[in-house]
Chains A and B, each alone.
Chain A
Amino acid sequence: MKLFKKKNPRYEFLRKRWIARHKENSQNLLDKHLRHVALGSVGSLVLLGTHNVSLPASPQLALNVGNQTTLNLESSQNRLLATELVDKLPLDNLVLSKTQEDNITSLINKDLGIKVKAEIAGKRLNRTYGLIGGEQHLYRYPGDTIYEHAKDAQDWAMYSNAGMAPGLGAWGYFAPSKEQFSSEDDLRERYYIAVQTFLSPGFSERVAEYRDFYKYRKMLVVNPTTGQAVVADIADAGPSEWTGKHLGGSPEVMQELGLAGGPRKGAVLYFFIDDSQKDIPLGPVKIKGELSKTI
């Protein structure tokens, strides 16, 4: 028996109407501005490649666009890292030995070109390999709303469902007002993680010192199954031990790790980044096979 899917008439109407609009707008763009430009010139290539003049004709295409979550399997150093990690991780628990940590940080340095450490200035988290769960968006300034978080329509579609956390992050608002909210603050919330700061060895004896150490500290989070990696910052404390999870990721972090779907959790590696030069940007890490950084 042949099965068929029932179509949503409203979706079909809008899909056809908006594809037609886009074709008209794109043709107008090409006719007015690029007709005289030779094929292969930077003008046409930039427009066609960078600015979505090519058409998202099907929902399947739409699922994999934006936010660089797809990896080129043939040349990606991320994929290489994943294959090299296969036999480096414990099978029956998530606690790494010192030797395992050293081996893994060396591999990350080699394959992704990012210097990571399990410990900085004598401080370390309770673990470096654990279960990450999805978190909600954080209030970035007084009066912030979920609507303000979306950069564009697709951003909204991908990340708005997570909603807003009821309270503030561990360090409070990212900025004292909307007017003072900077692009750096924006990225900090976008790619934040929550870690169990309170379980760090020595935390309870030196709370203020550890708080200053952890505030917006950059960490590299790696999905060892796929090699997907993201530079994130610590903007919250948690989750509680009883949840069975060891850290939490913002909706964008989960997306970049390939863990945004289904149960929104998975085992990840997480290490401090040695960012003394302040030149490692927050966001996804995708390294091409020829070792040229695309960060």
Chain B
Amino acid sequence: MTKFYAHLTEIHTLIVELEPLDLSEKEKNHLSQLIDSNLDAVIMDAILSELSEEDKMKFLRQLETGDHIQTWNFLQHKVADIEEKIKTVSKNLKEKLRQDIKEAHLRVNDKK
């Protein structure tokens, strides 16, 4: 199922940086899933940090329905600028992952 925040997270620039790593299909799939899992965790943390305890439960129940429109209606009603907050944490994480990819290149080259 498409994640409800998919339209806010641009990932193709990060994926492009994985291409030169000479990965097999399995390796590419696994790393891609790790990217998604990390992104999911930081975005969920960003959202839940803005909600009261009661609203957290309401949000999670709403999420379970899979109705993205209602989920966004709820969040936008409860949290100001929620979309910008999600974009910010997403951008910060992607920068860290990008640095990791660079480090992967450098480490391997150093060992040659």
CB pair A33–B29 under 8 Å, yes or no, is: no
For A47, the chain B residues whose CB sits under 8 A away are 44, 60
Q: Does A13 contact B (CB under 8 A)?
A: yes
For B35, the chain A residues whose CB sits under 8 A away are 18, 152-154
Determine the distance from Cα of A56 to Cα of B41 in the docked complex, in whole angstroms.
13
A33-B56, A55-B37, A150-B12 known; A13-B103 Cβ under 8 A: yes
Return B88 CB to nearest CB of chain A, in Å.
16
Q: Does A58 contact B (CB under 8 A)?
A: yes
A52-94 interface bits toward B, Cβ cutoff 8 Å, 1 = contact, 0 = none = 1101101100110110000000000000000000000000000
A9-46 interface bits toward B, Cβ cutoff 8 Å, 1 = contact, 0 = none = 11101110111011001101100110010000011001
For A10, the chain B residues whose CB sits under 8 A away are 21-23, 104-105, 108
Return B71 CB to nearest CB of chain A, in Å.
12
CB pair B26–A63 under 8 Å, yes or no, is: yes
CB pair A18–B34 under 8 Å, yes or no, is: yes
For A150, the chain B residues whose CB sits under 8 A away are 11-12, 15
For A160, the chain B residues whose CB sits under 8 A away are 15
Most buried by A among B22, B32, B38, B100: B32
| Besides the known contacts A18-B97, A156-B11, A157-B28, 19 further A-B residue pairs in the complex with CB atoms under 8 A apart | A8-B27, A9-B107, A15-B27, A17-B103, A18-B35, A25-B42, A25-B45, A29-B45, A32-B45, A33-B48, A36-B53, A43-B56, A47-B60, A50-B63, A51-B41, A58-B30, A150-B12, A156-B32, A160-B15
The contact sample of 13 A-B pairs, CB cut-off 8 A, is A11-B24, A11-B31, A13-B108, A18-B100, A28-B45, A29-B45, A43-B57, A43-B60, A46-B60, A59-B27, A152-B11, A153-B11, A156-B12
